Amino acid sequence: MAPAAALLLACAVAALACLALADPPASEQTALLAFLAAVPHERKLGWSASTPACAWVGVTCDAANSTVVKLRLPGIGLVGPILPGTLGRLANLQVLSLRANRVSGTIPDDLLRLSALRSLFLQDNAVSGAIPPGVSGLAALERLVLSHNNLSGPIPFALGGLAALRALRLDGNWLSGKIPSIANPGLRAFNVSNNMLNGSIPRALSRFPTDTFAGNLQLCGTPLPPCSPFFPSPAPGMGPSDGAPGGTGRKKKKLSTAAIVGIIVAAVAVALLLLLLAIVFCCKKRARRGARMEGPKGTAAAVGQTGTTRPPAASGEGTGTASSPKDDAGTSGAVAAAGGGTGETSRLVFVGKSAGYSFDLEDLLRASAEVLGKGSAGTSYKAVLEEGTTVVVKRLKEVAVAQREFEAHMEAVGGVEHRNLLPVHAYYFSKDEKLLVYDYLPAGSLSAMLHSQSSPSLLQPKLYCIA
């Protein structure tokens, strides 16, 4: 029995060693490196062929580290189009998020051949052209978020055939034509506001609120005002042959000259009014688009900014019921109350050895949070990001210091390394708000460790670094 047990143990150790050394196929690693090399980016990611692809920033593999299943690169300053033959070679990709960058060009056709793709988040970019009809090939697609881009043309009827679709956000584009009937009962989040759509709203989509369709001047029907044609339709039973020889003998009703003139005058007046409203709307929309493109790093969404005409994505990557992934826009917690409403555009600055973190200020503002405690320097919040990372955000109060001095102090504090100090990973500075980001230690605060009656084994030598 002893030799058999030893053999079994050796096999188990060998299997674990093979699992630890597993890595995606070379073709997937090559595809990722080709994508990064072809698209300029402002934030360094540290991808290298000498390290396993599953350990790269923004890359997530399956449990066996045998293939790439998620790629999340939000707000890292990507500029330019997605070249065909790069991301389209990740055959098992399930989630692709490139939101809040400056991605341009059209959607590559090879992305639409990823049969395992469940979530595609490209909002707040400069993607142009039409939505390809080939989107019907994404049979597993659950969330499609293309808000705030430069897409034009009609909404493909092929979207109605995606049985797994749960969230569809196309707001803030230049889409035109009629809205196709998407009768999928599982659709929980839908938004086509601020486009150039026309016609009546399909009955299958009338269950969504009014703001879902707002900003389309030629849309009508529930939940918007009812459609009212300029000319009356024929009465029931009246056909073109009614009253004609060989017909039923009924007399054709004729409109008087005064009624015809009145209808023509009313139609001309309404047409002029619609034309004027369309011109005003287009001017305002272009102004809003120009203001959004002047945000930080050219991204379309200015974090913490108030008074915008288009709300930030509240669904999609964070749409409706699909709010569990990192890129979903969940409800703002206490951290959002700390960082929002300043009316200023700024960004989260990482210090020290924290450049590898993949979250940004928008992720903090959308994180669920709870108050850990209040002190003389400010209030601390425990923020759980949508990707699962937990950090502590300290909101400083009554800190009167110049930005240059504050930044220099943060850079100095971020470079301090000591086993008994918990370093600052990032900070945010604006006129009204100063935020510090630390790692979260589940054992509690220093005060609780010093004064509580808990077991000494819970004490840890980590202390918060007082900035």
Q: 82 with 27: CB under 8 angstroms?
A: no
Report the sign of the C-alpha dihedral through residues 271, 277, 280, 284, in that order.
Answer: negative
Segment 301-311 shows an average pLDDT of 37
Residue 279 in this model has a pLDDT that exceeds 60: yes
Residue 356 confidence (pLDDT): 58
Query: Which pLDDT score, from 0 to 100, does residue 442 have?
Result: 75
Tokens 């971020």 locate to 414
170 or 423, higher pLDDT: 170
pLDDT-based confidence at residue 6 (cuts at 50, 70, 90): low
Taking the C-alpha atoms of residue 107 and residue 382, their distance in angstroms, rounded to an integer, is 38
238: pLDDT confidence band, cut at 50, 70 and 90?
A: very low
Nearest 5°: phi and psi at 199? 90, -175
Read off the pLDDT of residues 12-34 as tens digits, 9 standing for 90 and up.
544 444 444 467 888 899 999 99
Share of the chain above pLDDT 70, in %: 69
Residues comprising the chain, all counted: 467
The mean per-residue pLDDT over the stretch 204-209 comes to 94
Amino acid at 200: S
| Tens-digit pLDDT profile for residues 114-154 | 999 999 999 999 999 999 998 988 999 999 999 999 999 99
List all residues 6 or more positions away from 259 whose beta carbon is below 8 Å from its beta carbon.
none
Sole residue written with tokens 């005003």:
280
Q: C-alpha distances in angstroms, 188 versus 78, 236, 320?
A: 30, 38, 6
**pLDDT recorded at residue 424:** 81
Question: Taking 60 as the threshold, does the pLDDT of residue 235 lie above it?
Answer: no
Flag whether the pTM goes above 0.75.
no
The mean of the pLDDT values for the chain is 76
- CA 365/CA 395 separation, integer angstroms: 12
Quick one: pLDDT band at residue 355, thresholds 50, 70, 90? low
Residue-range domains of the chain with CATH: 19-231+268-330 (3.80.10.10), 334-464 (3.30.200.20)
**Cα(31)–Cα(90) distance, integer angstroms:** 7
Return the closest-CA partner of residue 365 out of 433, 298, 300.
433
CA-CA distance, 369 to 343, in Å (whole number)?
A: 22
pLDDT at 236: 37
